[in-house]
Structure 1
Amino acid sequence: MLFYFSGTGNSAYVAKRISEVTGEEICSINDKIKSDKLAPKTVDNERLIFVVPTYGWRIPRIVDSWIRNSHFPGNHQVYFVMTCGSDIGNAGRYLRKLCNAKDLDYRGCAEIVMPENYVALFTTPEKEEAAAIIERAEPAISGVIDDIVKGNNLDEPGQTVSGKIKSSLINTIYYPTIIHAKKFYATDACISCGKCQKDCPLNNINMANGKPTWGKNCTHCMACICGCPAEAIEYGSHSKGLPRYQCPK
């Protein structure tokens, strides 16, 4: 079974590519979290694949918690594929610990560099640049698929001092200082369609007088701001004038 979490479509696309070859059944973690459900029952010895984005050089904490709370009885080989805008740091170290805690056979974590979607903090690419980045990612995606089909461990990035610092110290600081919805707001361009509320995996958006309002339970997936059809959502002043990225595949 293949599980994926995706805010703007990068991980969803990679998951689709993998499933097309392996035949894996796909399960959206977004939908499960939104409906307050855990993983469906798995079959003994079933291969498990998780395709997720990189938040603070590790997998998203909400995904980590969802995996920890879900039950995967039986013997399972587990593969992780992480999409990112630059690198995944030392994420593999924490995924190995997660698998040990769940009695799962960890088979590695692959890094797939995709277009940057983090418009709240970084600069997002124009359509042409995004398309070129995805094209460059295709060989890496194909390599991951080949390794999974052959039962090989996935190649992980080598451990570096900077990677260790990013995935430990910076990740620890990143969540309490950066991950919040305080700066999200809707402009007068809002058409009151409610798509942002529907897309939010944490049910953190409510509509008030036809405009979205944000609560305190945000994971910075960027589904709301990048998925708004009117581009009517901003994040402070940083997002103004920047492209809203959604995977075109």
Structure 2
Amino acid sequence: MSMDNKISRRDALKRMGAAVVSGAVASSGLLSLASCEAKKSKRIIFYFTGTGNSLYIARQLAEENTELLSIPQMVKQGKYEFEADEIGIVYPIYGHMPPNMVRRFIQKANLKADYLFAVLTYGNRKCNAVEIWDEVSRQAGKRFDYIGTIIMVDNWLPNFDMNEQMKIDKHIPENLQKITADINGGQHWHEPVTEEERQQHQGFMQRSGLDPEVGFLIKSEKSFTVTDACIDCGICTYVCPRGNYELTSRGAKMSGDCEFCFACIQNCPQKAIQFRKSEDGSFPDGTEKNPNARYRNEHISLMDLKLANNQKL
């Protein structure tokens, strides 16, 4: 045997040790597990939330390698460049349309992913919300592979009593299970829309007078008022996704474009924020089904909403 092929006793022991470790890892399955983990897809889920419904759904759709990002926070930070294997968006429909901030975000965002999905939350009628999002996102240069809806507690205070809404079983776990399976399986599907649903939406737009290219975007000072019940707790200044509220020497004041997400009025502990009555009878007219009932998703804390929407920092 030549000297080139000889190894020292120490090198031989090192090689034997490495072989033993490699065999142990392989037999234990750790090698295959590490390989699987390396292949896990990265998922980003954007969300917009006022009372927690969409944040709850976004969390349920999040897997181990998922990043949850608040749209109001991304807008505040001016972040619009994102890349992942899968990118999703979860938002509540307002008048069957996306919140204005969601609409503007998707127009600016550059989403690099092999799979795009959207889940729209609603409380009563979804109408043609799926088609509306498909059109909005396509105009922004994005084609979503999957668009579905899920019914939740309806937080539209003018028409619904929150106490009664929370009593209704809307089969959220069952519906969520199907959506989760669809998305995890990379399903390409848009929830069907009927002609009746399209007509219902058109009727709503005619009655409301809203601009279909804008959706809900109403001046907060014309929509809400703060009563003497205000204790200057400042919650409204944290949960408004547009940062419309501030504390002054005369209590909480608001101004600016309002998404009508109701984060302020639903989360005020004193019920001091109320709808301002419409003097000319225009939509919305300031009426409320039950002024004593308020709602926040039971799985979402007030701190969760503050972190999601805070525009102060």
TM value normalised by structure 1: 0.85
Provide closer, same or farther for how the CA distance between residues 157 and 207 of structure 1 changes in structure 2, counting only shifts above 3 A. Answer: farther
Cα deviation, residue 100, structure 1: 2.7
Query: Which sits farther off after the overlay, 228-237 or 192-201?
Result: 228-237
- Corresponding position of 1:77: 115
Instruction: State which drifts further: 140-149 or 90-99.
Output: 90-99
Deviation at 1:67, TM superposition (A): 1.0
1:110 corresponds, among 148, 159, 164, to 148
Q: Report the Cα offset of residue 207 of structure 1.
A: 2.1
Which residue of 266, 273, 282 corresponds with 1:226?
266
The residue type paired with residue 110 of structure 1 is: G
CA contact (8 A) 1:78 1:106 kept: yes
CA deviations on 1:74-111 (whole Å, 9 max, x unpaired) are 44421111111112221222322333334434223211
String of CA shifts for 1:213-241, please: whole Å, max 9, x gaps.
Answer: 22131110100000112221111362463
Cα deviations by residue, 1:169-196 (Å, 9 ceiling, x for unpaired): 7188235898342131112211101110
Which residue of the other structure, out of 185, 207, 212, is the alignment partner of 1:150? 185
Structure 1 position 23, deviation (Å): 4.0
Change (3 A) 1:31 1:147: same
Contact 2:227–2:274, Cα closer than 8 Å, also in 1: yes
CA contact (8 A) 1:83 1:114 kept: yes
The residue type paired with residue 296 of structure 2 is Q
C-alpha contact 1:77 1:104 (8 A) present in aligned 2? no
Q: After alignment, is 169-178 or 216-225 more displaced?
A: 169-178
| Equivalent-residue separation in structure 2 for 1:30 and 1:54 (angstroms) | 16
Alpha carbons of 1:177 and 1:28: their partners in 2 closer, same or farther (altered >3 Å)?
closer
1:244 corresponding residue in structure 2:
294
- Tell me the residue number matched to 1:38: 79
How far residue 59 of structure 1 moved from its aligned partner, in angstroms, is 1.2
1:85 maps to amino acid: G
Contact 1:225–1:234 (8 Å) recurs in 2: yes
- Return the offset for 1:40: 4.7
Residue from 209, 226, 230 that aligns with 1:173: 209
Distance 2:184 2:217 in 1: 38
Q: CA RMSD in A?
A: 2.6
For each residue in 1:39-82, what CA deviation from the matched residue of structure 2 results, as whole angstroms up to 9, or x when unmatched? 35323xx211110000111211221111101222x444211111
Greater gyration radius = 2
Do 1:32 and 1:39's aligned partners in 2 also have CA atoms closer than 8 Å?
yes
Q: Do the aligned partners of 2:216 and 2:260 also contact (CA within 8 Å) in 1?
A: no
Gaps of 5+ in 2: 1-43, 277-285, 300-313
Change in Cα spacing, 1:31 to 1:133, as seen in structure 2 (3 Å) is farther
Q: Distance in 2 between matches of 1:231 and 1:180?
A: 20
Deviation per residue, 1:148-174 (Å, 9 max, x gap):
001112451422234355168718823
In structure 1, the partner of 2:99 is: 60
Unaligned runs of 5+ in 1: none
Aligned residue type for 2:275: Y
Distance 1:39 1:88, change over 3 A: farther
The 3 A distance-change label for structure 1 pair 141 and 153 is same
